[in-house]
Amino acid sequence: MRIRTLTGAVAAVLVLSGPVVGGQAVAVRTADSAAPPGETRVLTYDAGRAGEFASAVDRGAEIWNDSVDAVELRPAASGEPADIRIVVVDGWPRTVPGGLGSGTVYFGRDAVADGHSTVRIAAHELGHVLGLPDRKPGPCSELMSGASAGPSCASARPNAAERAEVEKKFERAPAGLFM
């Protein structure tokens, strides 16, 4: 249940499902309240098990940091639990999301052996963590076209639509607080 705006002096009987601040007037929230301030959500990642691809992961994270405002990826401090873990494996790269902004990236060597760009792989898999689905087949200009763009595609930047999609996902305030 949501009570957005109370106006006028009419006595009203309110049934509130949430906690009530004892004895205080219910604040009036005007209809033209500004949108929630765009806070940057910091997500930590741990590339300690990314093996030979650790620097590619750093580069992929930097690309996302340069590309969007809503999220910042930063390496987890030593001993700090990370939102995102990157693990080098044999096989094909894949990401197992743990919810928006968290998950495990399996940085598969097979794609690199096939000639795919390590930075593009890193940025693509981080794109999954940031909530983007695969869009295959697709052109090299789309990060989420992934391997379908071919091994010669070294573009590791999300395009405008992909950037906007991530901004939108993370700019949403915690569930239910804002429309």
Residues that bind Zn ion (CB under 5 A): 134, 146
**Residue owning tokens 């999609």:** 165
174: cis peptide before it, omega within 30°? no
**Could you give the 3-state DSSP secondary structure of residue 58?**
helix
Shorter beta-carbon distance to Zn ion: residue 43 or 129: 129
Q: Is 46 helix (H, G, I), strand (E, B) or coil?
A: strand
Strand partners, 95: 105
State yes or no: is 62 an active-site residue.
no
| Closer by beta carbon to Zn ion, 101 or else 146 | 146
The nearest distance, CB 143 to Zn ion, in angstroms, is 9
Residue of 62, 80, 125, 171 with catalytic role:
125
| CA proximity to 162, closest of 142, 136, 148 | 142
Please name every residue paired with 90 in a beta bridge, in sequence order, or none if there are none. Answer: none
CB of 149 to Zn ion, least distance (A): 11
CB of 84 to Zn ion, least distance (A): 15
Nearer to Zn ion, 69 or 134 (CB): 134
Residue nearest to Zn ion (CB): 134
The residues carrying an active-site annotation are 125
